[in-house]
Amino acid sequence: MRDMKIGDFLERLAAREPAPGGGATAALHAAQAAALLGMVARYSTGDRYAGHAATVAAVTAETDALRERALGLAAEDAAAFTAVTEAYKLPKGEERSAAIAAALAGAAEPPARVAETAARLVELCETLLPIGNPNVVTDVAAAAEAARAALTTARVNVEVNMGGIKDEPVLDGLRARLAGVDDAVARAERVTAAVREDLAR
Protein backbone atom coordinates (compact mmCIF):
# COMPACT_ATOMS: atom_id res chain seq x y z
CA MET A 1 0.00 0.00 0.00
CA ARG A 2 2.94 2.33 0.62
CA ASP A 3 3.51 2.91 -3.08
CA MET A 4 -0.11 2.98 -4.24
CA LYS A 5 -1.69 6.11 -5.64
CA ILE A 6 -4.40 7.53 -3.41
CA GLY A 7 -7.10 6.86 -5.99
CA ASP A 8 -5.98 3.25 -6.42
CA PHE A 9 -5.96 2.68 -2.68
CA LEU A 10 -9.45 4.10 -2.30
CA GLU A 11 -10.67 1.90 -5.14
CA ARG A 12 -9.31 -1.16 -3.33
CA LEU A 13 -10.81 0.07 -0.08
CA ALA A 14 -14.23 0.35 -1.75
CA ALA A 15 -14.01 -3.09 -3.36
CA ARG A 16 -15.77 -6.18 -2.07
CA GLU A 17 -12.59 -7.49 -0.52
CA PRO A 18 -11.79 -8.06 3.17
CA ALA A 19 -8.58 -6.03 3.12
CA PRO A 20 -7.66 -3.25 3.23
CA GLY A 21 -10.38 -2.15 5.60
CA GLY A 22 -10.94 -0.17 8.75
CA GLY A 23 -7.71 -1.26 10.38
CA ALA A 24 -5.63 0.02 7.49
CA THR A 25 -7.49 3.32 7.51
CA ALA A 26 -6.82 3.68 11.24
CA ALA A 27 -3.11 3.32 10.51
CA LEU A 28 -3.31 5.86 7.71
CA HIS A 29 -5.08 8.33 10.01
CA ALA A 30 -2.10 7.98 12.35
CA ALA A 31 0.35 8.38 9.48
CA GLN A 32 -1.37 11.59 8.40
CA ALA A 33 -1.28 12.93 11.95
CA ALA A 34 2.44 12.23 12.11
CA ALA A 35 3.04 13.89 8.73
CA LEU A 36 1.10 17.00 9.72
CA LEU A 37 3.08 17.35 12.92
CA GLY A 38 6.30 16.88 10.98
CA MET A 39 5.28 19.73 8.71
CA VAL A 40 4.46 22.03 11.64
CA ALA A 41 7.78 21.19 13.26
CA ARG A 42 9.66 22.00 10.07
CA TYR A 43 7.91 25.36 9.91
CA SER A 44 8.97 26.04 13.51
CA THR A 45 12.69 26.53 13.03
CA GLY A 46 15.02 29.50 12.85
CA ASP A 47 15.87 32.35 15.19
CA ARG A 48 12.30 32.92 16.32
CA TYR A 49 12.08 29.37 17.64
CA ALA A 50 15.67 28.99 18.82
CA GLY A 51 14.58 28.53 22.43
CA HIS A 52 12.66 25.41 21.47
CA ALA A 53 15.07 24.09 18.83
CA ALA A 54 15.88 20.88 20.68
CA THR A 55 12.22 20.06 21.30
CA VAL A 56 11.28 20.83 17.70
CA ALA A 57 14.11 18.67 16.39
CA ALA A 58 13.03 15.79 18.62
CA VAL A 59 9.41 16.12 17.47
CA THR A 60 10.52 16.17 13.83
CA ALA A 61 12.55 13.00 14.24
CA GLU A 62 9.89 11.17 16.22
CA THR A 63 7.01 12.09 13.93
CA ASP A 64 9.00 10.91 10.92
CA ALA A 65 9.57 7.58 12.68
CA LEU A 66 5.93 7.30 13.73
CA ARG A 67 4.78 8.03 10.19
CA GLU A 68 6.88 5.12 8.92
CA ARG A 69 5.63 2.91 11.72
CA ALA A 70 2.01 3.72 10.92
CA LEU A 71 2.49 3.00 7.23
CA GLY A 72 3.98 -0.36 8.13
CA LEU A 73 1.04 -1.11 10.40
CA ALA A 74 -1.40 -0.42 7.55
CA ALA A 75 0.22 -3.19 5.54
CA GLU A 76 0.46 -5.47 8.58
CA ASP A 77 -3.22 -5.00 9.31
CA ALA A 78 -4.22 -5.98 5.79
CA ALA A 79 -2.02 -9.10 5.95
CA ALA A 80 -3.32 -10.07 9.40
CA PHE A 81 -6.95 -9.77 8.34
CA THR A 82 -6.27 -11.88 5.26
CA ALA A 83 -4.98 -14.58 7.62
CA VAL A 84 -8.32 -14.46 9.45
CA THR A 85 -10.30 -15.00 6.27
CA GLU A 86 -8.04 -17.91 5.34
CA ALA A 87 -8.55 -19.50 8.77
CA TYR A 88 -12.31 -19.37 8.33
CA LYS A 89 -11.98 -21.34 5.08
CA LEU A 90 -10.54 -24.37 6.88
CA PRO A 91 -12.75 -27.44 7.45
CA LYS A 92 -14.75 -27.26 10.66
CA GLY A 93 -13.09 -28.82 13.67
CA GLU A 94 -10.64 -28.15 16.46
CA GLU A 95 -7.83 -27.22 14.08
CA ARG A 96 -10.03 -24.60 12.41
CA SER A 97 -11.14 -23.16 15.75
CA ALA A 98 -7.55 -22.90 16.96
CA ALA A 99 -6.46 -21.31 13.68
CA ILE A 100 -9.26 -18.75 13.85
CA ALA A 101 -8.46 -17.84 17.46
CA ALA A 102 -4.77 -17.44 16.63
CA ALA A 103 -5.53 -15.39 13.52
CA LEU A 104 -7.90 -13.11 15.45
CA ALA A 105 -5.26 -12.52 18.12
CA GLY A 106 -2.82 -11.70 15.35
CA ALA A 107 -5.32 -9.37 13.68
CA ALA A 108 -5.85 -7.47 16.94
CA GLU A 109 -2.16 -6.64 17.21
CA PRO A 110 -1.74 -4.07 14.39
CA PRO A 111 -4.70 -1.90 15.47
CA ALA A 112 -3.58 -2.13 19.10
CA ARG A 113 -0.21 -0.77 18.01
CA VAL A 114 -1.95 1.91 15.96
CA ALA A 115 -3.83 3.03 19.06
CA GLU A 116 -0.57 3.25 20.98
CA THR A 117 1.03 5.19 18.13
CA ALA A 118 -1.91 7.59 17.91
CA ALA A 119 -1.86 8.20 21.67
CA ARG A 120 1.77 9.22 21.39
CA LEU A 121 0.91 11.53 18.50
CA VAL A 122 -1.66 13.29 20.69
CA GLU A 123 1.10 13.90 23.22
CA LEU A 124 3.24 15.39 20.48
CA CYS A 125 0.35 17.64 19.45
CA GLU A 126 0.29 18.91 23.02
CA THR A 127 4.05 19.46 22.93
CA LEU A 128 4.04 21.36 19.64
CA LEU A 129 0.89 23.43 20.12
CA PRO A 130 2.34 26.12 22.44
CA ILE A 131 5.71 26.41 20.69
CA GLY A 132 4.97 25.81 17.01
CA ASN A 133 4.64 28.34 14.23
CA PRO A 134 1.25 30.03 14.73
CA ASN A 135 0.79 30.30 10.97
CA VAL A 136 0.29 26.53 10.80
CA VAL A 137 -1.42 26.02 14.15
CA THR A 138 -4.54 24.70 12.45
CA ASP A 139 -2.43 21.80 11.21
CA VAL A 140 -1.78 20.84 14.83
CA ALA A 141 -5.56 20.63 15.24
CA ALA A 142 -5.79 18.62 12.01
CA ALA A 143 -3.15 16.27 13.38
CA ALA A 144 -5.06 15.92 16.64
CA GLU A 145 -8.24 15.08 14.75
CA ALA A 146 -6.45 12.54 12.59
CA ALA A 147 -4.94 10.97 15.70
CA ARG A 148 -8.37 10.92 17.34
CA ALA A 149 -9.82 9.12 14.32
CA ALA A 150 -6.93 6.65 14.46
CA LEU A 151 -7.59 5.99 18.15
CA THR A 152 -11.31 5.32 17.84
CA THR A 153 -11.03 3.38 14.60
CA ALA A 154 -8.19 1.25 15.90
CA ARG A 155 -10.08 0.53 19.12
CA VAL A 156 -13.16 -0.82 17.35
CA ASN A 157 -10.92 -2.95 15.13
CA VAL A 158 -9.28 -4.47 18.19
CA GLU A 159 -12.65 -5.04 19.82
CA VAL A 160 -14.14 -6.84 16.82
CA ASN A 161 -11.30 -9.35 16.95
CA MET A 162 -11.56 -9.76 20.72
CA GLY A 163 -15.01 -11.30 20.29
CA GLY A 164 -13.49 -14.49 18.91
CA ILE A 165 -10.53 -14.75 21.29
CA LYS A 166 -11.01 -17.09 24.26
CA ASP A 167 -7.55 -16.78 25.80
CA GLU A 168 -8.13 -14.58 28.86
CA PRO A 169 -4.51 -13.42 29.26
CA VAL A 170 -4.54 -12.28 25.63
CA LEU A 171 -7.85 -10.50 26.16
CA ASP A 172 -6.62 -8.87 29.36
CA GLY A 173 -3.54 -7.62 27.56
CA LEU A 174 -5.61 -6.10 24.76
CA ARG A 175 -8.00 -4.46 27.22
CA ALA A 176 -5.05 -2.94 29.07
CA ARG A 177 -3.64 -1.55 25.84
CA LEU A 178 -6.98 0.10 25.01
CA ALA A 179 -7.52 1.49 28.50
CA GLY A 180 -6.06 4.89 27.68
CA VAL A 181 -7.98 5.49 24.45
CA ASP A 182 -10.76 7.59 25.98
CA ASP A 183 -8.26 9.83 27.74
CA ALA A 184 -6.20 10.27 24.57
CA VAL A 185 -9.35 11.09 22.59
CA ALA A 186 -10.32 13.72 25.16
CA ARG A 187 -6.85 15.23 25.01
CA ALA A 188 -7.00 15.38 21.22
CA GLU A 189 -10.32 17.17 21.46
CA ARG A 190 -8.81 19.68 23.88
CA VAL A 191 -6.02 20.41 21.40
CA THR A 192 -8.57 21.19 18.71
CA ALA A 193 -10.65 23.25 21.11
CA ALA A 194 -7.59 25.30 22.09
CA VAL A 195 -6.79 26.00 18.46
CA ARG A 196 -10.37 27.03 17.69
CA GLU A 197 -10.49 29.24 20.73
CA ASP A 198 -7.31 30.97 19.59
CA LEU A 199 -8.73 31.46 16.10
CA ALA A 200 -11.87 33.05 17.54
CA ARG A 201 -9.93 35.81 19.32
Q: Determine the 3-state secondary structure of 163 from DSSP.
A: coil
Contacts with 168 (C-beta within 8 Å, 6 or more apart), sequence order: none
Range list of H helices, the chain: 6-14, 22-42, 53-88, 94-128, 137-162, 168-178, 181-200
pLDDT in tens, the chain (201 residues): 788 999 999 999 999 988 899 999 999 999 999 999 999 999 999 999 999 999 999 999 999 999 999 999 999 998 898 888 899 999 999 888 889 989 999 999 999 999 999 999 999 999 999 999 999 999 999 999 999 999 999 999 999 999 888 889 999 999 999 999 999 999 999 999 999 999 998
